[in-house]
Amino acid sequence: MTSIASNARPDAPIGIFDSGVGGLSVLRHIRAQLPQEDLIYFADSGYAPYGDKTEQQVIDRSLAITAFLLQQGAKALVVACNTATIAAIKALRARYPDLPIVGVEPGLKPAAGISHNGKIAVLATERALRGDKLLALREQVSAATGATFILQPCIGLADRIEQCELGTDPLDATSAMLERYIAPMLEQGVDTLVLGCTHYLFVQDAIERTVRAHTQEQITLVDTGDAVARQLARLLDAASLRRTNNDMPRLQGYTTAKVESLAKAFAGLLDLQPPVEHLSV
C-alpha cells in the first residue's frame, strides 16, 4: 500500500483519466463545480478501447496511469471511464488507500428514482455491461425498487465519438448506430436511458433526435458526470484539499496517441485549447 496523504497539498492538481476523450464530459462538470482547481487530463487513446481488453489489462493500464498522475503531484484521482471503474477501482483503492478516488458507474440508482414505469435501458460498452460490479448493482437496485434494466451494448459507438463523429447529420454512421441501439429499447417501452459510458454524453443531441423520431413519450437521459464532480468536491473538503484561490487554473492534457487528436477533441467538444503532450506510459 502506498500513502500520499502526508504530502498532498490543496494547490496540487486533480488527475483525471479515461481510455480516450469520453472523460472530457466528466472534466466539464468538474471545471463547472470546482473552477479554481488545476486539472490534468490523461487520454489513454493509444490503448483504446478498453472494452475489448481483459480485466487485468485494464487494471494494469489504470495503475500505470495513476502512478504517472501521482508523479505529476495529483492530490486526487477521477477514473472518468466506466470500464476502468468497474475493472480497476478496487485495485487502485487498495494500492492508494489515502488518495481521494472517484469513479464513474452507470446511474442505475438515480434512473430507478426517475423512471415512471420502471423500464430502464442502460447504454454502455460490452465490457462494462459484463462486469460483475454492474450486474450486482443491477440486481441490488432491481430488488430494492422493482425496476427492470435492459442492458444494451453499443459496440463501436465510443470509437465514433473518439473521432469526433457526433451524429450531427441524421444520415451519418453515428446516427445509424444510435438508431440501431436505441429504437429496440423504445419498442420495449423504456422511459429512461442511462448513458453508461462517459463518451455518450457528447452524442446527447443525436440520441434525443433518435428518441423523438420514435416516440412522443417523455424519455429521460441519465448522466452521472455531475454526481462525480459533487463526490469529488466532498472528498476534497473532507481531506482539506480543496483549492480556494486560483485566478488562473491550469489544464494540461496528455495522450498515448496523437496529440492532434486530443487537441481536436478539447477544441471540438469543450471549446478549449490547453497544452497537450504525447506520452508512452
- Report pLDDT digits (tens) over 156-169: 999 899 888 999 99
pLDDT number for residue 22: 94
Distance separating alpha carbons of residues 143 and 223, to the nearest angstrom:
22
- Per-residue pLDDT, averaged over 9-26, amounts to 96
Q: Which residues contact 47 (CB under 8 A, 6 or more apart)?
A: 19, 53, 61, 256
Tell whether the model's pLDDT for residue 5 goes beyond 80: no
Distance separating alpha carbons of residues 85 and 82, to the nearest angstrom:
5
pLDDT number for residue 31: 97
Residue 79: count other Cβ atoms within 10 Å of its Cβ.
29
Tell whether the model's pLDDT for residue 23 goes beyond 90: yes
Percent of all residues in the chain with a pLDDT value above 90, rounded to a whole number: 85
Pairing of strands 220-222, 251-255: unpaired
Task: Give the burial string for 125-159 (b: 16+ CB within 10 Å, else e).
Answer: bebbbbbebbeebbeebbeebebbbebbbbebbbb
Residue 225: count other Cβ atoms within 10 Å of its Cβ.
23
Tell whether the model's pLDDT for residue 52 goes beyond 70: yes
User: Angle at CA 267, nearest 5°, toward 264 and 268?
Assistant: 80
> What mean pLDDT value characterizes the chain?
94
Write out pLDDT tens, residues 95-134.
Answer: 999 999 999 988 999 999 999 999 999 999 888 898 888 8
Is residue 154 among the annotated active site residues?
no
Out of 81, 89, 120, 221, pick the active-site residue.
81
pLDDT number for residue 3: 47
pLDDT number for residue 133: 84
Q: Would you say 130 and 153 are in contact if contact means Cβ atoms under 8 Å apart?
A: no
Tell whether the model's pLDDT for residue 181 goes beyond 90: yes
Grid cell of 219 as nine digits: 424519455
Instruction: State the pLDDT confidence band at 8, using cuts at 50, 70 and 90.
Output: confident
- Per-residue pLDDT, averaged over 196-215, amounts to 96
Is residue 164 among the annotated active site residues?
no
Single pTM value for the model = 0.89
Out of 197, 228, 236, 262, pick the active-site residue.
197
Tell whether the model's pLDDT for residue 246 goes beyond 60: yes
